[in-house]
């Protein structure tokens, strides 16, 4: 949702907030016992605070003569545990007050520890759950989701936004409980000592409430912007740092620096606005509180009210009232943390609600024959009007090798995307073994394909794990060894110091393009799927690597259906059939020789020497 939409929808905001709290609490539910322990700890802590105020009454009252009826809470407890017998009030207090002070402080300290630590246990578990849920959701969303968000903004949601939720869940919740319970306990104690007088204090509550709610709205708005700006910061830095060569060679340091500066500056400005509201709100609330305390003292010293107090209980009352300042200040200070957490939770939940890839099929499929048929398939990318594919009817018989050629942008890769169910055709149907592909369970269906494309994804892991990747993790050493041999990857792997256990750098760093390509082919070979797709798998290679890979391709194409998108003539000539794509339509298909004689576009592509990058081809009427 955009900022503007979210901000104007504030009337339904209360209900949305309620839903948000309930959903967050849903994450706390599995930790109810630990959460309860933490609340118990904070209860002990705030009771300790009150009883330490009460202890002052014990101390002061023991200076004069007191009757049992006027005794404070601590004094009464002390008398009950250890009856004074015939000791004088002063002698008794000299022993009882210090002991009570130490015991109460110890109790308060223990409560603090239990409350704080176990609150963190809950909060960190909640964050862990939300973070892994988010990651897992992003593993299942359709490919179009990644077109909508930049990878930087998604990463920033996993790192920054989730951490903001943790701020609200741990810090803020902890303070909310600790200080909130302290306020409740102190006010309760004051009500107990003199309820009429305490009501004065409630006169300012509505004013404080208004300030808190106005400030909260601002906090939320700035927090959303801060999150979005963290997305930009992550995106720009990731993009720029990943493109070291390009940035240096094109002298783009200054330009990228300015881009980053802008993203970071926006973040700073929004953070400052948030800090400004926070810095204003706390003193305003404190001032309101000061008025209330002033009124409280004024009434307290009124003779008729004063007469109802013992000296000790008056001091205890005033001590308790004065103690209210600190927790209330802290409470107003954490509102920004809470609002930041809520804004982040809103955004993270938005992502968590993203639909998974459509997987309506229920047919299971062990191993397909590899019969593929497209019937009048049309497609346009979501959010665009331009048709990327139109009226595609095509058959790939089991075991056949088909080359797909056409100028760049003619829709070759798009066709592959549809075959792999990364996108759904806008019209028409694709069949595998005479069954519509959407009828198969997605995981079963994808197992039928091995793909080697121009961009090779390698992970920072050992070569072995990069080849025996994902569903192939159980492959035997023998099988891996064989795949490497057939992909002509064994020689260079054996030359590496740790062989197949060599750990690759970021994205396969430390290997040449051709070596990475051969690893990708080994991976595809190991998968041994009935359908193989090579999307410009050899286009980035030099002649020597290509010779190797050509060999490897010959090995892997036999006995399986193969779709090859390539520029290289050698590859295309060996295909059983060539399909020429132009402007998203099939314009010709047939054996290489036949097409060369009969199809002008194909002849031109062929004579251009480069079947894909043919910017010099004249008479192209499709673009």
Interacting residues toward ligand ADP by CB under 6 A? 147, 381, 384, 388, 406, 408-414
Q: Nearer Cβ to ligand ADP, position 146 or 298?
A: 146
CB of 567 to ligand ADP, least distance (A): 11
| Spatial distance between the Cα atoms of 156 and 222, rounded to a whole number of angstroms | 17
Which residues does 384 contact at the CB level (< 8 Å), separation at least 6?
none
361 dihedral zone (left: phi>0; alpha: psi -120 to 50; beta)? beta
- The partner in contact with residue 409, picked from Mg ion, ligand ADP, none with C-beta cut-offs of 5 to 8 angstroms by kind, is ligand ADP
Residues comprising the chain, all counted: 623
**Token pair recorded at residue 121:** 């246990």
3-state secondary structure at position 142: coil
Query: Contact 158/135 with Cβ under 8 angstroms?
Result: yes
Cα–Cα nearest to 504, from 536, 471, 469: 469
CB of 622 to ligand ADP, least distance (A): 10
Distance of CA 106 to the CA centre of its chain: 41
**Token pair recorded at residue 276:** 């400004």
Query: Contact 228/248 with Cβ under 8 angstroms?
Result: no
CB of 408 to ligand ADP, least distance (A): 4
Burial call 321-331: b when 16+ CB within 10 Å, e when fewer: bebbeebbebb
Q: Nearer Cβ to Mg ion, position 501 or 613?
A: 613
Q: Nearer Cβ to ligand ADP, position 345 or 418?
A: 418
Q: Nearer Cβ to Mg ion, position 452 or 475?
A: 452
Angle at 118 between CA 115 and CA 121, to 5 degrees: 150
| Spatial distance between the Cα atoms of 525 and 534, rounded to a whole number of angstroms | 12
CB of 540 to Mg ion, least distance (A): 12
Cα–Cα nearest to 196, from 295, 319, 50: 295
Q: Nearer Cβ to Mg ion, position 114 or 612?
A: 612
- The partner in contact with residue 388, picked from Mg ion, ligand ADP, none with C-beta cut-offs of 5 to 8 angstroms by kind, is ligand ADP
- The partner in contact with residue 381, picked from Mg ion, ligand ADP, none with C-beta cut-offs of 5 to 8 angstroms by kind, is ligand ADP
Chain contacts with Mg ion (rule: CB under 5 A): 413
Q: Nearer Cβ to ligand ADP, position 414 or 562?
A: 414
- The partner in contact with residue 608, picked from ligand ADP, Mg ion, none with C-beta cut-offs of 5 to 8 angstroms by kind, is none
Cα–Cα nearest to 334, from 202, 194, 219, 196: 219
Q: Nearer Cβ to Mg ion, position 158 or 394?
A: 394
- The partner in contact with residue 579, picked from Mg ion, ligand ADP, none with C-beta cut-offs of 5 to 8 angstroms by kind, is none
Q: Nearer Cβ to ligand ADP, position 111 or 411?
A: 411
Q: Nearer Cβ to ligand ADP, position 107 or 409?
A: 409
- The partner in contact with residue 411, picked from Mg ion, ligand ADP, none with C-beta cut-offs of 5 to 8 angstroms by kind, is ligand ADP
CB of 145 to ligand ADP, least distance (A): 12
| Spatial distance between the Cα atoms of 448 and 450, rounded to a whole number of angstroms | 7
Which residue's C-beta sits nearest to Mg ion? 413
- The partner in contact with residue 282, picked from ligand ADP, Mg ion, none with C-beta cut-offs of 5 to 8 angstroms by kind, is none
- The partner in contact with residue 403, picked from Mg ion, ligand ADP, none with C-beta cut-offs of 5 to 8 angstroms by kind, is none
| Spatial distance between the Cα atoms of 19 and 305, rounded to a whole number of angstroms | 46
Residue written as token pair 């705030």? 46
**Token pair recorded at residue 273:** 């606005």
Q: Nearer Cβ to Mg ion, position 125 or 413?
A: 413
| Spatial distance between the Cα atoms of 201 and 188, rounded to a whole number of angstroms | 12
- The partner in contact with residue 488, picked from ligand ADP, Mg ion, none with C-beta cut-offs of 5 to 8 angstroms by kind, is none
CB of 413 to Mg ion, least distance (A): 3
CB of 372 to ligand ADP, least distance (A): 18
10 Å Cβ neighbour count for 180? Answer: 17
CB of 381 to ligand ADP, least distance (A): 3
User: Which residues, listed in sequence order, are joined to residue 532 by a DSSP beta bridge?
Assistant: 450, 562
CB of 403 to Mg ion, least distance (A): 14
CB of 528 to ligand ADP, least distance (A): 26
């Amino acid at each position: 949702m955009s900022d503007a939409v979210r901000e104007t929808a504030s009337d339904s905001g209360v209900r949305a907030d309620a839903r948000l709290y309930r959903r967050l609490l849903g994450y706390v539910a599995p930790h109810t016992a630990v959460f309860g322990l933490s609340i118990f700890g904070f209860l002990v802590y705030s009771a300790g605070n009150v009883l330490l105020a009460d202890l002052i009454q014990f101390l002061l009252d023991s200076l004069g003569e007191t009757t049992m009826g006027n005794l404070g809470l601590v004094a009464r407890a002390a008398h009950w545990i250890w009856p004074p017998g015939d000791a004088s009030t002063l002698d008794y207090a000299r022993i009882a007050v210090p002991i009570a002070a130490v015991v109460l402080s110890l109790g308060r300290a223990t409560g603090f520890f239990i409350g704080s630590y176990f609150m963190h246990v809950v909060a960190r578990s909640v964050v862990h759950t939300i973070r892994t849920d988010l990651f897992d959701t992003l593993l299942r969303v359709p490919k179009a989701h990644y077109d909508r968000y930049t990878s930087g903004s998604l990463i920033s949601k996993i790192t920054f936004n989730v951490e903001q939720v943790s701020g609200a869940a741990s810090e803020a919740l902890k303070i909310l409980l600790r200080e909130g319970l302290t306020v409740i306990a102190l006010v309760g104690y004051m009500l107990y000592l003199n309820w009429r007088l305490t009501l004065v204090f409630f006169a300012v509550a509505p004013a404080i409430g208004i300030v808190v709610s106005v400030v909260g709205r601002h906090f939320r708005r700035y927090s959303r912007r801060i999150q979005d700006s963290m997305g930009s910061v992550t995106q720009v830095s990731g993009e720029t740092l990943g493109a070291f060569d390009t940035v240096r060679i094109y002298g783009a340091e200054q330009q990228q620096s300015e881009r980053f500066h802008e993203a970071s500056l926006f973040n700073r400005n929004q953070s400052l606005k948030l800090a400004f509201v926070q810095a204003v709100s706390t003193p305003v609330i404190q001032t309101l509180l000061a008025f209330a305390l002033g009124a409280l003292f004024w009434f307290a010293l009124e003779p008729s009210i004063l007469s109802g107090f013992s000296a000790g209980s008056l001091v205890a009352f005033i001590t308790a009232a004065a103690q209210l300042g600190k927790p209330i200040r802290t409470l107003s200070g954490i509102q920004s943390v809470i609002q930041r957490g809520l804004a982040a939770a809103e955004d993270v939940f938005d992502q968590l609600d993203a639909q998974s890839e459509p997987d309506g099929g229920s047919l299971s499929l062990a191993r397909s024959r590899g019969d593929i048929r497209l019937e009048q398939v049309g497609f346009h990318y979501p959010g665009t009007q331009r048709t990327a594919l139109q009226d595609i009817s095509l058959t790939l018989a089991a075991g056949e090798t088909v080359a797909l050629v056409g100028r760049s942008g003619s829709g070759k890769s798009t066709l592959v995307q549809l075959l792999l169910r990364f996108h759904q055709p806008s019209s028409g149907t694709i069949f595998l073994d005479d069954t519509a592909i959407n009828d198969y369970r997605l995981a079963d269906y994808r197992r039928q394909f091995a793909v080697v494309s121009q961009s090779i994804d390698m992970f920072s892991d050992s070569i072995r794990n990069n080849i025996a990747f994902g569903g192939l993790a159980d492959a035997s050493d023998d099988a891996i060894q064989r795949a490497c041999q057939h992909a002509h990857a064994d020689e260079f792997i054996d030359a590496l110091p740790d062989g197949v256990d060599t750990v690759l750098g970021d994205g396969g760093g430390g290997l040449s393009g051709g070596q990475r390509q051969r690893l990708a082919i080994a991976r595809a070979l190991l998968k041994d799927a009935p359908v193989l797709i090579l999307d410009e798998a050899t286009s980035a290679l030099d002649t020597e690597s290509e010779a190797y890979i050509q060999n490897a391709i010959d090995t892997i194409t036999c006995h399986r259906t193969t779709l090859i998108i390539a520029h290289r003539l050698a590859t295309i000539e060996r295909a059983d059939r060539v399909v020429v794509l132009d402007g998203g339509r099939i314009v010709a298909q047939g054996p290489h020789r036949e097409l060369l004689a009969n199809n002008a576009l194909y002849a031109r592509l062929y004579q251009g020497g480069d079947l894909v990058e043919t910017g010099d081809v004249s008479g192209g009427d499709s673009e």
